Amino acid sequence: MAVDHQSPGALDGLRVLDLSRFIAGPLCCQILGDMGAEVVKVERPGGEDGRRHRPFHRGHSLYTMMFNRNKHGITLDTRHPEALGILEGLVARSDVVVENFRPGTLEKMGIGWERIHEINPRTVLVSISGYGQTGPNRDRALFDAIAQAGSGLMSMTGSPDGEPTMAGAFLADHTAGFHGVMGTMMALAARERTGLGQHVDIACMDALFACMGTLPSAWAMLGETSGRTGNRDQITVPANTFPTADGYVYLHAGTDALFPRLAAAMEDPGLADDPRFRGQADRLTHVEALEDIVRGWTRRESTTTICDRLAAAGIPSSPVATVAEVTDSEQVKAREMMIEVEHPELGTLVLPGMPIKLGATPARARKAPPTAGEDNAVVYGRLLGYSDERVRALADAGAI
- All structural domains of the chain with their residue ranges: 15-211+332-396, 239-243+248-319
Grouped pLDDT means (10 residues each) for the chain, 400 residues = 69 98 97 98 95 94 95 97 97 98 96 98 98 98 97 96 95 98 98 98 98 95 94 94 98 96 96 96 97 98 98 98 97 97 93 96 95 96 97 97
Q: Which amino acid is at 374?
A: E
Q: What does the pLDDT read at residue 2?
A: 58
Q: What does the pLDDT read at residue 332?
A: 98
Class of domain 15-211+332-396: alpha beta
The active-site residue, picked from 173, 201, 233, 246, is 173
Q: What does the pLDDT read at residue 234?
A: 87
Fold of the 239-243+248-319 domain: formyl-coa transferase, domain 3 (3.30.1540)
Can you tell me the distance from the alpha carbon of 129 to that of 17, in angstroms, rounded to the nearest whole number?
A: 17
202's CB contacts (< 8 A; 6+ apart) are: 24, 126, 127, 128, 129, 132, 176, 179, 180, 183
Can you tell me the distance from the alpha carbon of 70 to that of 118, in angstroms, rounded to the nearest whole number?
A: 29
Whether 173 is a known active-site residue: answer yes
Q: How many CB atoms lie within 10 A of CB 317?
A: 21
